[in-house]
């Protein structure tokens, strides 16, 4: 199977084929075998060329946050209406209005209230994940339509924390 995705806004292409209990991975320049095992949800053990890695990942809608060997990578696949990243990325109106955490964590602060006007890049909430505080910011100028969480709630990256609406 061929895959195309963005890693830190750089288009990457790889080919992955399963061969017995191993995966054959090719990035165009190199080809190697990878022994990949799922240790638990969000954690993979990877053995490549006698080097062992633990990979941690968490999905945030169309983004995948990957922590590997001390690096944090943000991986994105083309959206359903895109066959590739050619022509740039488009964020749907629906995605802009749903505010989600970048990864599973705990809500430690909510900075806004329902019906409050917010500006673009304003911090809406703070979620602690993997011992780091993540500021959740508004992607638009708008109004807080609904808040779905409270301080202290455990959240994942699939469910929205809050919903915004455009100013009318």
Mean pLDDT across 116-128:
92
Q: What is the dihedral of CA 94, 100, 103, 109, to 10 degrees?
A: 170
**Mean pLDDT of the residues in the chain:** 81
Distance of CA 87 to the CA centre of its chain: 21
d(CA 98, CA 86): 25
Q: What are the residue ranges of CATH 3.30.700.30 in the chain?
A: 2-76
pLDDT digits (tens, 9 = 90+) for 58-94: 887 777 788 887 788 777 765 544 444 444 444 455 5
Could you say which architecture CATH assigns to the domain 2-76? 2-Layer Sandwich (3.30)
Closest CA to 26 of 11, 12, 15: 15
Mean pLDDT across 39-53:
89
Residue of higher predicted confidence among 75 and 164: 164
Q: What are the residue ranges of CATH 2.40.50.100 in the chain?
A: 93-166
Q: Are 28 and 22 in contact (CB under 8 A)?
A: no
Distance of CA 11 to the CA centre of its chain: 16
pLDDT digits (tens, 9 = 90+) for 11-45: 778 888 887 778 888 887 888 888 988 888 889 89
Please count the residues of the chain: 168
Q: What is the dihedral of CA 72, 73, 79, 80, to 10 degrees?
A: -80
pLDDT at 28: 78
- CATH code of domain 93-166: 2.40.50.100
pLDDT at 89: 41
- With tokens 């954690």, the residue in question is 43
Copy the structure tokens of residue 73.
């990578």
> How far are the Cα atoms of 38, 83, 91, 94 from residue 79, in angstroms, in the given order?
26, 8, 9, 13
d(CA 104, CA 163): 18
> How far are the Cα atoms of 34, 35, 103 from residue 45, in angstroms, in the given order?
10, 8, 19
């Amino acid at each position: 199977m061929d895959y195309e995705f963005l890693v830190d806004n750089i288009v990457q292409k790889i080919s992955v084929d399963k061969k017995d209990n191993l995966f054959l991975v090719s990035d165009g320049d190199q080809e190697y075998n990878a022994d990949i095992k799922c240790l638990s949800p969000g954690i993979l053990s990877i053995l490549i060329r006698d080097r062992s890695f633990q990979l941690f990942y968490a999905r945030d809608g169309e983004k995948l946050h990957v922590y590997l060997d001390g690096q944090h990578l943000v991986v994105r696949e083309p959206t359903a209406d895109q066959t590739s990243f050619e022509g740039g990325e488009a964020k749907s109106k629906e995605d802009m209005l749903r505010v989600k955490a970048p990864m599973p964590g705990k809500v430690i602060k909510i900075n806004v209230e329902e019906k409050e006007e917010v500006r673009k890049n304003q911090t809406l909430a703070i979620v602690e994940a993997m011992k780091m505080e993540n500021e959740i910011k508004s992607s638009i100028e708008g109004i807080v339509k609904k808040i779905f969480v409270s301080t202290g709630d455990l959240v994942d990256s699939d469910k929205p924390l809050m919903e915004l609406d455009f100013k009318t």
